[in-house]
């Protein structure tokens, strides 16, 4: 009865059940479609004796990528950065640092120690982000593992277990057990009607059984996967009580517990040793001399023969003439500059909405989570603070910096609050997980990206609908991606279809430089 399934048939089968995404992923596994773009070396012409000036507006990672790559090819680059620091949304906060939130300026009071830092913007590097990783390697940025998924961290929902935090492990093991039992039962009844061969059905059953650690008779009767209630080393392990399936269903946390670390979110993630801004430091070690700080771009005039930039620095207005311009200033700020962009270009800029993000952190007087067997990872709560992150670095040192909240949008809940209200909310939320939280933490910092100077948002939102991009949106995207007057490029993660990743920002810069390269080559050939 067993019959070989051709690759094409398998793809059709997956396509019928899982939609295009499943087809694409499986396709690359089988080697039919190209795998995720690897970090292809940029093939850009070195200028030689030709002189070309490039103005780079904003020292975000996309701007610095352009400066670094074009500098290598002999372009004369100047980066104008409005803030006192480069990196934009790559922002590591340490002892003494200014958090330039409009109306809520803070200085970080953390202890002055290399591991006492907080990545207030980008914090995780997926291993599939090949271009970013290639730069880390090239620039000597040392990486270490970032732990997001940790089964020993907690889940907390007032609707679940009377609000008592559950270890992710307890939740997951039980939930998977019940799910498997249900699947296994329906399998055995229906397998004859299913489009599987006998072997396939057997294999599927074995997957289901092991997914939920089912015992004989395909029943879930608890598991040792979430540890023992007692014993396990010198005495026999005593199995933990099972949780009641009904109880687990009182909360929607399962959605998060079972799927939060898929795709770009891990589980294998990386971070630079000492803070995400080590990547920025890496770029600056090569092109730092070309950056002007506290240089606020005020005007962009695209002309036939170049681009004229006006910027304010040191209380005076300056001009910068360039042949080309690469601009990573967020579009919602760029439209307010004195520019002469084409109408449909402005229309596209105005269309992009600004996303929201909010993070907060405390210095912990002790690494209290380690005493609870937690080493790195994320606790998830069904409240406004949403998450607690335990630092994967500085293990067993005296202190650490713990993420107290990460709210990625919707209503600017914390953004509207004054500092004390924000902090009090995080303390109350955290106390539900760790009863000693309030005593253990101090020196709070909060970063509301919607109010951060020269940023006022996070992650451009092109799509109005969850169901995908409309034709008009794609058109506007294409208009904004093409250089205005052949000379002004919008770059940054805002010029990608997957915003809020460093990789996207870098790839937008690569796209723009490749476009520039074609133009420059043809100009030189004339």
Partner 1 sequence: MPDPFWRNGMIGKREVIVFFAALSFCFIKAYAAENLSDLREPYNDRYCTTCHGSDGRGNYGIKAPRLAGMEPWYLKRQLENFRAGIRGTHSSDREGIAMQSMAVKLSDSSITDIISWVGSWDYVATEITIEGNESLGQQLYIQCASCHGANGEGNEALGAPALRGQNDWYLATQLRNFIEGWRGSHPQDSLGQQMILMAQSLQNDDGIKNVVSYINTLSRK
Which positions lie near partner 1, rule CB under 8 A?
82, 84-86, 94, 96-98, 100, 102-105, 107, 112, 114, 274, 277-278, 280-281, 284-285, 288, 293, 296, 298-299, 310, 331-338, 349-350, 354, 412, 415-418, 450-451, 453-454, 456
Under the binding rule (CB under 6 A), the answer on residue 275 touching ligand FAD is no
Q: Which stretch binds ligand FAD (CB under 6 A): 4-12, 425-433, 472-480, 492-500?
A: 492-500
Q: Which of 81, 100, 149, 170 binds ligand FAD (CB under 6 A)?
A: 81
Give the x-and-dash track for 493-512 against ligand FAD (CB under 6 A). x------xxxxxx-------
* Chain position carrying tokens 């009641």: 244
Residue partners of 198: CB distance under 8 A and separation at least 6: 1, 2
Under the binding rule (CB under 6 A), the answer on residue 58 touching ligand FAD is yes
Tell me which of ligand FAD, partner 1, none is bound by residue 61, counting a contact when its beta carbon lies within the kind-specific cut-off of 5 to 8 angstroms.
ligand FAD
CB of 73 to partner 1, least distance (A): 24
CB of 57 to ligand FAD, least distance (A): 5
Ranges within 454-473 binding ligand FAD (CB under 6 A): 454-455, 458
Residues forming a β-bridge with 101? 452
Categorise residue 34: left if φ over 0, alpha if ψ from -120 to 50, beta otherwise.
Answer: beta
For residue 57, count other CB atoms closer than 10 A to its CB.
Answer: 30
Tell me which of partner 1, ligand FAD, none is bound by residue 449, counting a contact when its beta carbon lies within the kind-specific cut-off of 5 to 8 angstroms.
ligand FAD
For residue 488, count other CB atoms closer than 10 A to its CB.
Answer: 26
Distance (Å, rounded) from C-alpha 94 to C-alpha 281? 14
CB of 429 to partner 1, least distance (A): 21
Give the x-and-dash track for 123-142 against ligand FAD (CB under 6 A). xx------------------
CB closer to ligand FAD out of 168 and 325:
325
CB closer to ligand FAD out of 181 and 387:
387
Under the binding rule (CB under 6 A), the answer on residue 330 touching ligand FAD is yes
Q: Which stretch binds ligand FAD (CB under 6 A): 80-88, 97-105, 188-196, 429-437?
A: 80-88
Ranges within 437-456 binding ligand FAD (CB under 6 A): 449, 454-455
For the beta sheet containing 269-272, the strands, ordered from the edge strand earlier in sequence to the opposite edge, are 125-126, 269-272, 143-146
* Chain position carrying tokens 């059905």: 201
CB of 429 to ligand FAD, least distance (A): 18
Under the binding rule (CB under 6 A), the answer on residue 266 touching ligand FAD is no
Residue partners of 416: CB distance under 8 A and separation at least 6: none
Is residue 340 packed enough to be buried (19+ CB in 10 Å), middle (13-18) or exposed (0-12)?
middle
Residue partners of 397: CB distance under 8 A and separation at least 6: 113, 115, 367
Q: How far is CA 235 from CA 192, 222, 223, 373, in A?
A: 45, 19, 17, 21
Ranges within 297-316 binding ligand FAD (CB under 6 A): 297
Q: Which of 26, 69, 70, 88 binds ligand FAD (CB under 6 A)?
A: 88
Tell me which of ligand FAD, partner 1, none is bound by residue 134, counting a contact when its beta carbon lies within the kind-specific cut-off of 5 to 8 angstroms.
none
Answer whether the bond into residue 267 is a cis peptide, omega within 30°: yes
Q: Which of 333, 335, 417, 427 binds ligand FAD (CB under 6 A)?
A: 333
CB of 426 to partner 1, least distance (A): 18
CB closer to partner 1 out of 341 and 489:
341
Q: Which stretch binds ligand FAD (CB under 6 A): 66-74, 119-127, 372-380, 517-525?
A: 119-127
Q: How many Å is the Cα radius of gyration of the chain?
A: 26
Residue 9: both structure tokens together: 């048939």
Can you list the positions of beta strands (E) in 28-185?
53-57, 76-80, 92-93, 98-99, 106-107, 118-119, 125-126, 143-146, 154-156, 166-167
Q: Which of 90, 116, 160, 281 binds ligand FAD (CB under 6 A)?
A: 90
Is residue 130 packed enough to be buried (19+ CB in 10 Å), middle (13-18) or exposed (0-12)?
middle
* Chain position carrying tokens 């796209």: 511
Distance (Å, rounded) from C-alpha 511 to C-alpha 497? 13
CA neighbor of 31 nearest in space, from 13, 4, 10? 10
Residue partners of 507: CB distance under 8 A and separation at least 6: 131, 496
Residues near ligand FAD (CB under 6 A) are 57-63, 80-83, 88-90, 121-124, 296-297, 328-330, 333, 357, 359, 449, 454-455, 458, 492-493, 500-505
């Amino acid at each position: 009865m067993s019959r070989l399934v051709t690759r094409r048939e398998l793809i059709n089968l997956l396509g019928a059940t899982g939609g295009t995404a499943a087809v694409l992923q499986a396709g690359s596994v089988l080697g039919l479609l190209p795998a995720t773009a690897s970090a292809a070396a940029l093939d850009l012409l070195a200028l030689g004796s030709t002189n070309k000036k490039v103005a780079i507006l904003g020292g975000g990672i996309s701007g610095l990528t352009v400066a670094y790559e074009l500098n290598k090819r002999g372009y004369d680059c100047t980066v104008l950065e409005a803030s006192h620091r480069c990196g934009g949304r790559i922002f590591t906060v340490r002892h003494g640092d200014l958090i330039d939130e409009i109306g809520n300026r803070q200085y970080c009071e953390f202890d002055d120690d290399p591991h006492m830092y907080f990545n207030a913007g980008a914090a995780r590097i997926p291993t599939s982000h090949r271009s970013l990783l290639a730069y880390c390697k090239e620039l000597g940025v040392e990486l270490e593992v970032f732990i997001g998924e940790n089964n020993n961290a907690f889940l907390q929902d007032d609707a679940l277990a009377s609000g008592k935090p559950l270890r992710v492990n307890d939740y997951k093991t039980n939930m998977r057990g019940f799910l498997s039992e249900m699947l296994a039962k329906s399998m055995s009844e229906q397998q004859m009607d299913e489009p599987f061969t006998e072997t396939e059905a057997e294999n599927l059953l074995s997957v289901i059984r092991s997914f939920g650690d089912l015992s004989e008779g395909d029943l879930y009767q608890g598991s040792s996967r979430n540890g023992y209630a007692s014993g396990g080393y010198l005495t026999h392990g005593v199995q933990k009580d099972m949780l009641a399936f009904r109880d687990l269903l009182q909360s929607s946390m399962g959605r998060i517990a079972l799927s939060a670390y898929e795709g770009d979110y891990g589980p294998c993630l990386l971070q630079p040793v000492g803070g995400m801004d080590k990547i920025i430091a890496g770029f600056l070690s090569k092109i730092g001399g070309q950056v002007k700080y506290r240089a606020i771009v005020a005007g962009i005039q695209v002309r036939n023969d170049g681009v004229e930039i006006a910027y304010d620095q040191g209380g005076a207005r300056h001009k910068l003439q360039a042949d080309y311009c690469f601009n990573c200033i967020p579009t919602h700020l760029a439209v307010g500059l004195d520019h002469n962009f084409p109408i449909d270009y402005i229309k596209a800029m105005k269309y992009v909405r600004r996303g929201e993000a909010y993070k907060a952190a405390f210095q912990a007087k002790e690494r209290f989570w380690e005493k609870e067997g937690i080493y790195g990872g994320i606790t998830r709560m069904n409240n406004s603070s949403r998450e607690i992150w335990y630092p994967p670095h500085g293990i067993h040192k005296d202190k650490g910096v713990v993420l107290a909240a990460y709210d990625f949008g919707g209503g600017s809940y914390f953004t509207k609050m004054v500092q004390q209200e924000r902090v009090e909310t995080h303390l109350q939320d955290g106390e539900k997980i760790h009863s000693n939280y309030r005593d253990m933490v101090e020196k709070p910092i909060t970063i509301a990206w919607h109010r951060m100077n020269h940023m006022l948002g996070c992650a451009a939102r092109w799509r109005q609908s969850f169901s995908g991009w409309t034709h008009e949106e794609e058109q506007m995207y294409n208009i904004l991606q093409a250089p205005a007057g052949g000379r002004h490029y919008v770059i940054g993660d805002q010029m990608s279809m997957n915003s809020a990743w460093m990789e996207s920002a870098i790839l937008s810069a690569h796209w723009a430089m490749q476009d520039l390269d074609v133009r420059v080559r043809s100009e030189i050939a004339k």
